[in-house]
Amino acid sequence: MNKKIDEAQAFLDEFIPLVWNEKDVDIVIAPPFTALYTVSNLLKITNVSLAAQNLHQAEKGAFTGEISPAMLTDVGCTHVILGHSERRTLFGETDETINNKIQSAKNFGLEVIFCIGESLSERESGMTFDVLSRQMTEGLKGVAPDGIIIAYEPVWAIGTGRTATTAQAQEAHEFIRRTLAGLYGSVADEIRIIYGGSVTAENIDSLMACADVDGALVGGAGLKAASFARIVKYNK
């Protein structure tokens, strides 16, 4: 919940020139709902795509305060973030709810950035793989693999400055890849698995060097144009 419309515009005025020539990286910005229309217009002739941070699974109806997938595509979104840990922990979203949202998003042609991850207590209890397996199995029930991006975000590393080590990130991503193979077969190799959890300009290079890390879901470091641009232009 950052950046009013004028702040989002100022951010893009600084950010777009820094990444204009980046052709081998997919860049996606996810502003709050109030800035989507303005940002959509600003991105039209750029190499940056637009995502929403959430949606409601219904196309329309008596759901006061909610935003439908049809409204997101209408405003120019190509992606949507679903299952974020804050939606799960602060707003009570369940695996079933998230599954319904994923199916609805895909029905409207939106690519889904599907977030999964364990809490600190779950990791310390040795439950990491059980949690990830459950979230994927339930969240992707009946969902085709096309247009799905998995975002591993260890809850204990979000906004805490405590990043998973490269070994921890790779171990989790490798497990996610194996689980996807069980769900979808060989196509699992083509599904992007991105890491989110205190990603910074300082640690992006080591994270991206991991075999199964295909990108990053950037939080606080994405609020400043220079640091986000450095993440986009990580040392390959």
Query: What is the signed CA dihedral for 5, 115, 173, 126, rounded to 10 degrees?
Result: 130
Question: DSSP letters along 97-162, please?
Answer: HHHHHHHHHHHTT-EEEEEE---HHHHHTT-HHHHHHHHHHHHTTT--STTEEEEE--GGGSSSS-
Catalytic residue flag (residue 84): yes
153 catalytically annotated: yes
Q: Which of 93, 111, 118, 153 is catalytic?
A: 153
Which amino acid, 186? Answer: S
What is the Cα–Cα distance from 139 to 5, expressed in whole angstroms?
Answer: 32
**Amino acid code (one letter) for 141:** K
Q: Identify the active-site residue in 79, 84, 111, 118.
A: 84
- Determine how many CB atoms are found less than 10 A away from the CB of residue 195: 33
- Active-site positions read 84, 153
